[in-house]
Structure 1
């Protein structure tokens, strides 16, 4: 198993960086009601947005229903999956179901005709928490942005990535010099996933 997957954070407390974004997510989840706006996590790839969502769901004992851009995201598909999922209670005994819409800023393609409109309808009718994930905040339709609570994820500083790399080296019993750890952390340009992948390839 690749290390980026093997060492994916299990809980919000394990997430590297973006402390204020993580706190905002935790506060939202703790106080969620059917009147709460969905969260909209945005920021460059590889900085922990999707990992944070799954960590939050685990911490809250929520099921996850995920849609992403590889799905044929017509309005009908969104309504069938997110619409039904967001209005019915969980069958597995978990407290809630978290509807996750990954790559929400990729809704402009031909296959997504009516997609943004369908998400807005889901938001209006949802009886379960929803989180949208996007790389580009302004890649979303303005009416969709207005219906969400934005949460910005920022690139992770190299000094925060380095301890994570050292932890993985120790766990895997891999000898790695401080200079190499520092170089990988710097080369990743704020992308934790990229740093872990570089470490894995080097090892």
Structure 2
């Protein structure tokens, strides 16, 4: 088993660093209701954006529907995966959508993927969490406008080393 998997946090209290960002994220989830703007987590790779989404789904009792936007770039694929779960129950309960690397959906291979995501973001019927390494591109502007934005920073090694976990 890889070290990162063996020691992956399983609860919000297990997370280290970015306390303010985590607090805002938990508040968003606690107050979520149909129509609440999706949330965009922005920060460098490896700081726990995906782990945070996984923990939220588990602790708030949602069925996590996860996709990597870099792998599923076109409108047809995005709609095939996400449209059936919007506003419906899955076998495991109420779905939560997590779109990772949403900043990678734009580009030559996009084929309408960016527009499909923005359309889904405008009328959320389930919690939607997006993660991006950066939000500085022009193509991310429309996604940023459709979401609550939370920025997280690189976690300093001293912070991890000082953790009692």
Question: If the length of structure 1 is used for normalisation, what is the TM-score?
Answer: 0.75
Higher gyration radius (CA): 1
Deviation at 1:115, TM superposition (A): 1.1
Which residue does 2:74 correspond to in 1? Answer: 74
Which residue does 2:19 correspond to in 1? Answer: 19
Structure (1/2) with the larger helix percentage = 1
What runs of 5+ residues in structure 2 fail to find an aligned partner?
none
Asked if residue 131 in structure 1 is aligned to residue 129 in structure 2, the reply is yes
Q: Which has the higher contact order (CA 8 A, sep 6+)?
A: 2
Q: Deviations over 1:55-113 (max 9, x none)?
A: 11111011111110452321111112122212212322x3x211011000011222222
Residues paired across the two proteins, number: 164
- Aligned mates of 2:140, 2:148 — CA distance in 1: 14
The answer (yes or no) to whether the contact 1:86–1:129 under 8 Å persists in 2 is no
Runs of 4 or more, structure 1, over 4 Å off, are none
- Aligned mates of 1:43, 1:150 — CA distance in 2: 11
Q: Deviations over 1:113-151 (max 9, x none)?
A: 211110111113431110110000123431111000001
What runs of 5+ residues in structure 1 fail to find an aligned partner?
168-203
- Aligned mates of 1:112, 1:65 — CA distance in 2: 21
Question: If the length of structure 2 is used for normalisation, what is the TM-score?
Answer: 0.92
